[in-house]
Amino acid sequence: MPKPLRIRRAVAMAERSRLCLVRHGATAFTEAGRYCGHSDPPLSGAGIEQIRTLRARLAPRLNDNLAVFSSDLRRAIQTATLLLAAPFRQLPSLREIHFGDWEGKNFEDTGCTAPETLLDPTFHFPNGESQMQLQARVAQAWHETIAPALADRVVVVVAHAGSLAALRLLLHQLPPREFWNYLIPHAEALWVRHE
């Protein structure tokens, strides 16, 4: 049986090392089922309302001792601005996967005849990037910038479905094939305990 002091230390560590992952609100691209990636549309009216609703839910869990990181794409910046009354640092490495020639298209318009290829983490979007490249840049952002901020603050990361899934795989030490199982819906926050 663990000693009470060890339990108190574990609880204190968990409280100090909270990590909140937030996906941006909806955009006109996402509402139309179009690949957004590195394209830079703003939040839609519905996306703005989603973030206002999320802000009301998150407010009780946030304090003044925040470290906030955001993708440098407009939809993430707008989300961070609407969500938090705190300064934040923009990290290009938190951008969504680059869909290349698929940007702005629906899947049906891509000409892809083998949708199962998307499950392969090494699949490279034409003139874009692969899931493995996404995971490498997100891992670098985590190790060099985000993780060090967890020392004694609540850390909020505002980004995209793909970059947040890549971060979750890293934190849970899961294989790349699990990527599609770890997507966060629009305007949702996921609290992760990082030891």
> Which pLDDT score, from 0 to 100, does residue 76 have?
98
**24 flagged as catalytic:** yes
Phi and psi dihedrals of 73, rounded to 5?
-85, 150
**Number of domains making up the chain:** 1
Q: How confident is the model at residue 136 (pLDDT cuts 50, 70, 90)?
A: very high
The residue from 31, 38, 49, 96 that is catalytic is 96
Q: How confident is the model at residue 65 (pLDDT cuts 50, 70, 90)?
A: confident
Range of the domain at 102: 22-193
Cβ burial of 39 (10 Å; 0-12, 13-18, 19+) is: middle
The residue from 24, 98, 160, 186 that is catalytic is 24
Domain contains 4: no
**98 flagged as catalytic:** no
CATH number at residue 181: 3.40.50.1240
Mean pLDDT of 121-142: 97
* Model pTM score: 0.89
Domain contains 134: yes
